[in-house]
Each structure stands twice: as C-alpha cells, then as structure tokens.
Structure 1
Amino acid sequence: MSVREEFDDWATSGRDKGMEDRHWHTAKHALARMPVEPGDTVLDLGCGSGYAGRALRDTKGAGRVYGLDGAPEMARNAAGYTDDPNVGYVVGDFDELPFVDDSIDHVWSMEAFYYAADPRHTLEEIARILRSGGTFYCAVNYYEENVHSHEWQEYIDIEMTRWDRGQYREAVRDAGLIVAEQDTIPDREIEIPNAAEFPLEEWDTREEMVERYREFGTLLTVGVAP
C-alpha cells in the first residue's frame, strides 16, 4: 500500500483528528520553541489535519502557512478545518517539494518524516527551500531508542525509517544544515493508571508505560540553514 492509499483511508475514517489529539501533548511544546516571527512563511510537512500550521498562525502570527501531505483526503480534510486565507494545503511528495529555492522560513514535521521514501533526499529538499537562518523542526515518536515504538511497523503497510538520535544528527548535517538542538519531550498529559490496574490491553506493566511516555516521549531534532 502507498502512503497516499494508507492515509487516505485514515482521513476518510476520521483518524486524522485522532492523530492531532495524541500528538498535541508534545507537539505544542516543540511548536512553542520555533523562532517564528510575524509574517514568516512556514511549511508543515506531512500536515495531517493541519493543526500545527494553524497553531503557528494563532500563536506566533506566521504569515503564509502551507500544509503538504501525500494523501489527498488528508489535505482536503485539513482545508475544511479552517477558513483562514493565509493557510493553504497541497498534495505533494516529500522527495520533490513544490517550492522554489530559499522560499520558506521554517519547516515543521511531526510523526511524518519517517514515511519519506528517501529521507536523506527529503532533507536535501528541505535545505534547498529554507532561507538562510531558517529552521527545520523534526519531531518523531518512532525512533531507535524508543523500544516501545519498534512494533509499529507491524501495523502499517508503509516501510518506515527508524533512525537513532545519532543518525538524525548525521543526516541533518549531511544535508547542509546545522544541528541546533536535539532532545526528547516527555508526554506529561497522557493518563497512566495505577500499577494495580495492569496489565492493560497494550501494556504489561506500569513501568513500561511510564518509560514510553515520560522518559522516551517525542524525539525533536532541530536543523538550521546556514
């Protein structure tokens, strides 16, 4: 199954809003760090429901916001969630971003980058479209150190790239960007039941669930265009 087919199915079944609800716990903290200034142009790469771009418009006064997704139904749904004329959605491929060189101030991607068919080329594309001093905020929950994410590949037909922290830094640098920071953002909001309530359907022990959400959380890697 292609990325388009997989996420068209998600969009038509309403799972795009569910993704937004789950991701927001950590995404809001990463978005708050972005040095977006009023009028800046932002690309939300793998935008899903488009919540991140809309948040940057509301909280930081971003100028033009583009949401790009490989699934037409995702982009269609996202467009229906806003009437802001400065927010637009396009269907596109991560390997050939439909923007001219030096045209974007900031790129955001949450839980989408690892779906790229050629992630190193995608980083080169991001570096190409970023203006000098522009940033790329890459947030993922599926990464090597997060052992609890490894089984996710079993439940999706798309081949995903599972890098570790060092591989993210190396690939960002190889694309010509400067690694400005890298850390993990814990999910402090998801409810973790008392130990007496375990095992649950998805978790054998409370310790495992605490590790997944409070310790591993979301890996954030930030690249800056020189």
Structure 2
Amino acid sequence: MSVRDEFDAWAADGRDKGMEERHWHTAKHVLARMPVEDGDRVLDLGTGSGYALRALADTTGMARGYGLDGAPEMAHNAREYSREAEPDADLGFVVGDFGHLPFADDSLDHAVTMEAFYYSHDPHRTLREVARVLKPGGTFHCAVNYYEENVHSHEWQDTISVDMTRWDAAEYRTAFREAGLHVAAQDNVADREVDIPPAEEFPTSSWESREAMVERYREFGTLLTVGVAP
C-alpha cells in the first residue's frame, strides 16, 4: 500500500487526531525549541492533522505556515481543523512528495517534521530538498520515535503496510551532513506525561516490566536532530 492510501485511511477514521494526541507530549517541547521569529515562513513535513503549525501560529509571530502531506485526506482534514482552531492564521496545506518539495530555493526560514520523516521513500533526497528550500541559517527540526536505539519501536514496522526508515542517531547526523546541513544539536526528548504504573502492576497488556516502559518513554522518547542550512 502507498503512503497516500495508508494515511488517507487513517484520516478517514479519525486516527490523525489520535496521532496528534500521542505525539503532543514530546512535540510541544520540540516546537518550543524552534527559533521562529516574526515574519518567518515555516514548512511542516508530514503535517498530519496540522497540529504543529497551529501551535506555532498560536505561540509565535510566524507569517506563513505550509503543511505538506502525501495523503489528500490528511491535508483536507488539517485544513478544516485549522480553520476552526486558528481562523486568523495564514496556513496552507498541500499534497506533495517529500522528495519534490514545491518551494523555491532559499525560500523558507524553518522546517519541521514530527514523526513523519521515516515514511519518506528516499530520506536522503528529502534532506537534500529541505536543504535546498531553506534560507541560509534556516533550521530543520526532525523528530522521530521510530529509530534504531529505541528497541521498543522496532515492531511498529509490522503494524503498517508502508516501508519505514530506521536509522540510528549517528546515521541521522551523517545523512544531514551529506545533504549539506550542519548538525546543530541532537538529543532525546523524554515523554514525561505518559503514566507509568508502579512495579507491582506489571506485567501489563503492553509491557513486561516497568523498567522497559520507563526506558521507552523517559529515556528514549523522541530523537530530535536539528540541522542548519549554511
């Protein structure tokens, strides 16, 4: 199944909102780190429900936000949600491919992707495209919870019909540099809001031990790699 078909189905049954709720615990910390200034133009790759752009519109002086998604139904839903939640924000949602961004060279101030980069058909090309469209000094905040060190995420590939890229932290840094982006930072953003029961309540239906659950949410969390265009 294609990315388009997979995520059109997700949007149709409301799972886009579910993704927003699950990812918000770490996404809000990632977005707070973005140096968005008044008048900036920001791209959200794999926008899903559009929650990242709505949050930036609500908390920054961003002039224009672009949400790109490979699934038409996702883009449609994001547009409708945003009209309701941020009617005065200048947000646009388009259907597109991560490997062919519909923006001119050096035209955007920042880009972000929350839990979507690993769905790219060609992640190296995606990084080159991001580097192309960013202005000098522009940043790319790439957040993923599906990555090699997070052993608790590996089984997710078995639950979805599209291929996913599972790099380790070093591979992300190398790929960013090869695409022409300086690596400004890389760290793990912990999820401190998921409730972790006391040890005597384990095993649960999802976790064999409390130690494994603590490792997944408090230690691994979301891997954030920040690139800067030269």
Aligned equivalent of 2:96, options 65, 89, 92: 92
Confirm or deny that 1:15 pairs with 2:15.
Answer: yes
Residue 219 of structure 1 aligns with which residue?
223
2:65 and 2:176 mapped to 1: Cα distance? 23
Post-superposition shift, 1:39?
A: 1.0
SS at the partner of 2:92? strand
Confirm or deny that 1:202 pairs with 2:206.
Answer: yes
Residue 115 of structure 1 aligns with which residue?
119
Q: Name the Cα RMSD after superposition.
A: 0.7
Counterparts of 1:153-172 in structure 2, within 5 Å, are 153-172=157-176
Q: TM-score, normalised by structure 1?
A: 0.99
Counterparts of 1:26-45 in structure 2, within 5 Å, are 26-45=26-45
Counterparts of 1:134-145 in structure 2, within 5 Å, are 134-145=138-149
Greater displacement, 146-155 / 76-85: 76-85
2:229 and 2:69 mapped to 1: Cα distance? 23
Deviations 1:71-100 (A, max 9, x none): 000000000112235001000000101111
Post-superposition shift, 1:6?
A: 0.5
Gaps of 5+ in 1: none
2:204 and 2:4 mapped to 1: Cα distance? 33
What stretches of structure 1 move > 2 A for 4+ residues in a row?
A: none
Residue 149 of structure 1 aligns with which residue?
153
2:155 and 2:21 mapped to 1: Cα distance? 21
Query: In the comparison of the two structures, how many residue pairs are matched?
Result: 226
| Identical-residue share of aligned pairs (%) | 70
Post-superposition shift, 1:29?
A: 0.6
Post-superposition shift, 1:187?
A: 0.3
Residue 62 of structure 1 aligns with which residue?
62
Post-superposition shift, 1:60?
A: 1.0
Q: TM-score, normalised by structure 2?
A: 0.97
Q: Which amino acid aligns with 1:185?
A: V
SS at the partner of 2:102? coil
